[in-house]
Amino acid sequence: MGHDTELIERWRRGDRTAFEELVRRWQRPVGCFLARLTGHADAAGDLCQEVFLRAYRAGPGKHENGSFSAWLYRIALNAARDAARRAKYAPRPLAREVPDRAAPADAEAAQRESVRLVATAVAELPEPLRVVLVLHHYEHMNFEAISRLTGTPASTLKSRFATALGKLRDRLQQLGLGPEESPP
């Protein structure tokens, strides 16, 4: 955070390498966030590029008094929403039927299939639930920070997070990924 402030100050003075340092520092977290939010790992690269392009064009003076990361995540969220509006990276819903869980032959294939199903189940969640799930579970943001980012009350976000987990529990169970039955 302190390092970010110093880099932004250098960028404000016209040092372009400071901006590049900020990009190197934040490209991975922002890329992860976008990939998980959109459910398209291949889209994350394009969107990440767009986020830093918007940040570069806005310039160092445009970021609010809050932290640089919060500003960047807000840009990322807007970029993801714009892309979803253009339906370029709309989440692909899974087929409704339960897949044949016995199909994958080896453990590695089964693991790959499980990861694919979980990723798409996350992508199937409605956007407000997906946003809070990704920011809270993966980015480890508390509900107050997410509230500042999205403009939604923290209590609403807390309830959305619980709903998201509940929906995922049901969907994953439906897809045959429920917890093993515990012995009586």
How would you write 68-99 as a 3-class SS string?
HHHHHHHHHHHHHHHHHHCCCCCCCCCCCCCC
- CB of residue 114 to other proteins, shortest distance in Å: 7
Nearer to other proteins (CB atom), residue 7 or residue 30: 30
- CB of residue 74 to other proteins, shortest distance in Å: 18
- CB of residue 56 to other proteins, shortest distance in Å: 6
Nearest to 149 by CA among 3, 37, 11: 37
Nearer to other proteins (CB atom), residue 65 or residue 140: 140
Say if residues 177 and 118 touch (Cβ distance below 8 Å): yes
Nearer to other proteins (CB atom), residue 65 or residue 153: 153
Distance CA 88, CA 137 (A): 25
- CB of residue 171 to other proteins, shortest distance in Å: 9
Using CB under 8 A, list all residues that contact other proteins.
16, 20, 23, 27-28, 30-32, 34-36, 41, 44-45, 48-49, 52-53, 56-57, 111, 114-115, 118-119, 122, 133, 136-138, 142, 158, 161-162, 165, 168-169, 172-173, 177-179, 182
Rounded (5°) CA angle 169-170-176: 90
Amino acid at position 184, single letter: P
